[in-house]
Amino acid sequence: MSSENTKVNKDMTFAELLQIRPNAAMVLSGYGLHCIGCHLSVSETIEQGMKAHGLGDDKIQELVDELNAE
């Protein structure tokens, strides 16, 4: 399966996300997540990172849906 067909999910690390969706950085920054330069991006999941930034489950699902729609 190509990375273009891989579904994004909240349990992926930011590093995994950016590997399969390099353009996701723009979407992430729209949520206040500037994960590219963060040292935690290699091990922190999307869910963990968003919760650390005060974003709840509704925003997590919104982000995942937005990334999968691209």
Q: What's the CATH code, domain 9-69?
A: 1.10.3910.10
Provide the whole-model pTM. 0.85
Q: What is the pLDDT of residue 1?
A: 41
Q: Which residue has the higher pLDDT, 61 or 5?
A: 61
Higher pLDDT among residues 66 and 4, named by residue: 66
Q: What is the DSSP string of 16-66?
A: HHHHH-TTHHHHHHHTT--GGG-GGGGT-BHHHHHHHTT--HHHHHHHHHH
Domain borders along the chain are 9-69
pLDDT of residue 39: 76
